[in-house]
Amino acid sequence: MGEKAEKETQILGIESSCDETAAAVVVDGRRILSSVVASQIDIHRKYGGVVPELASREHLRQIVPVVRKAMEQAGLVLPALDAIAVTQGPGLVGSLLVGITYGKTLATALNKPLIGVNHLEGHIHAAFLEAHQHGEVPKLPAVCLIVSGGHTVLYQVKVDDASQNEAFAYRKLGQTRDDAAGEAYDKVAKLLGMGYPGGPILDQLAAATGCAAPPTKFGPTKTRGNALDFSFSGLKTAVLYHVREHPEYNQEIHRRELALREGHKKFEELLTLCSAQTLGLVREFQNAVVRDLVERTMKAVEECGVETILVSGGVAANSQLRATFEARASGAGLKIYFPSRALCTDNAAMIAAAAYSRFERGLFADLTLNATANMPLA
């Protein structure tokens, strides 16, 4: 078993806010000893989205083996931990409760501190965690875009002046008024017969478009009021109307749905069932999503006068989004940080990392800790 160096803090993180059961051990909020994620995608696939009741049931099934595996991979026994961190919210209450109840039980049995973590703060820490793996520390203040299946939100992140322990302070700059960007990916993929989740497959298809012309154009989304707010439901509806008005899509959508039902869900299999018109449509949809995400983030950067951009959450794995952001940031002399793909999507290493500064400040939870479905970060 691994020997712990003097004063190192080993935190077990537990994440169960949506459809991933995850556990990880992180040292001093920076060094990942293990990170285990059990995805429920196969269970929710046939419904085209996360079914909360099924998610809770699967978390119950997975939580014990996932934590055990995380401890094994870290080479640690439970008493060697310094604290247990759990996602408190936002998320699905039934799912959150599984992680919280297990975390409380472990903390009580081991007589270790329990730390409640905001899932969004976890996503922000994922960008720092990735940078730490490469010996870098993102400079604050920064603008952070969290973009996933459940969230699309912009924060300003700075050092909390009141704290001497590298704690961050957050200010919300804008958020989606309706669907999250990942949700738009998932819904558009469903209506085009591309399976679930939609992001990864549409990302690959958009990259394979070649010189196929877009069959329609989607303009920039305008939102009244806060210019840093997002809106994606109009774009999703525009794709739906375009498809309805063009019956030539129907046959290939039907063919793809049949293929998916037979288990042919791989990119190469679906690509052969896509016309150039469909590929052009997918690309145009992605262009519109990427443009809105990048433009609003750059506007926030300008307004806040920061030099650092952090992008995190499942959609931050998107190749076109990453490439566009990289180009814009380097053109403007800004530093940009993305987590690796594994740290972009939901994981527990980010929860253990976010818990570290709370540990340092002695911000522990007691057994009244409860799931908070709409937990704000700022």
The correct pick among 199, 346, 347, 365 for binding Zn ion (CB under 5 A) is 346
Stretch that binds ligand KG4, among 3-11, 133-141, 179-187, 223-231 (CB under 6 A): 179-187
Nearest to 124 by CA among 155, 159, 152, 160: 155
Q: Residue 94's binding partner, choosing from Zn ion, ligand KG4, none, with beta-carbon cut-off 5 to 8 A by kind? A: none
Which ranges constitute the DSSP H helices of the chain? Answer: 41-44, 52-74, 93-110, 119-133, 181-191, 198-207, 233-245, 250-261, 267-271, 276-304, 319-331, 341-344, 349-361
Q: Does 130 help bind ligand KG4 (rule: CB under 6 A)?
A: no
Per-residue binder mask for ligand KG4 (CB under 6 A), 8-37, x = binder = ----------x-------------------
Q: Residue 339's binding partner, choosing from Zn ion, ligand KG4, none, with beta-carbon cut-off 5 to 8 A by kind? A: none
At closest approach, how far in Å is the CB of 88 from Zn ion?
13
Stretch that binds Zn ion, among 143-151, 188-196, 281-289, 292-300 (CB under 5 A): 143-151
Residue at token pair 């305008």: 222
- Within residues 204-263, the interface with Zn ion by CB under 5 A covers none
Q: Does 200 help bind ligand KG4 (rule: CB under 6 A)?
A: yes
Q: Does 317 help bind ligand KG4 (rule: CB under 6 A)?
A: yes
Nearest to 284 by CA among 236, 187, 215: 215
Which residue, 106 or 289, has its beta carbon nearer to ligand KG4? 289
Q: Residue 317's binding partner, choosing from Zn ion, ligand KG4, none, with beta-carbon cut-off 5 to 8 A by kind? A: ligand KG4
Stretch that binds ligand KG4, among 163-171, 191-199, 229-237, 330-338 (CB under 6 A): 191-199
At closest approach, how far in Å is the CB of 149 from ligand KG4?
3
Q: Which two tokens stand for residue 102?
A: 């297990």
Round to the nearest angstrom and report the end-to-end CA distance of the chain: 40
At closest approach, how far in Å is the CB of 345 from ligand KG4?
3
The DSSP secondary structure of 14-29, one letter per residue, reads EE-SSSEEEEEEEETT
Q: Does 345 help bind ligand KG4 (rule: CB under 6 A)?
A: yes
In which region does residue 81 sit, left (phi positive, over 0), alpha (psi from -120 to 50) or beta (all else)? beta
Q: Does 186 help bind ligand KG4 (rule: CB under 6 A)?
A: yes
Q: Does 193 help bind ligand KG4 (rule: CB under 6 A)?
A: no
Residues with Cβ within 8 Å of 243's Cβ and at least 6 positions away in sequence, in order, are 191, 192, 249, 253, 281
- Within residues 160-199, the interface with Zn ion by CB under 5 A covers none
Strand, helix or coil at 268? Answer: helix
At closest approach, how far in Å is the CB of 150 from ligand KG4?
4
Q: How many other C-beta atoms lie within 10 A of the C-beta of residue 180?
A: 23
Strand, helix or coil at 313? Answer: coil
Query: H/E element holding 263?
Result: none
Length of the chain as a residue count: 378
The correct pick among 29, 90, 174, 182 for binding ligand KG4 (CB under 6 A) is 182
Which residues bind to ligand KG4, rule: CB under 6 A?
Answer: 18, 148-150, 182, 185-186, 197-200, 203, 313-315, 317-318, 345-346
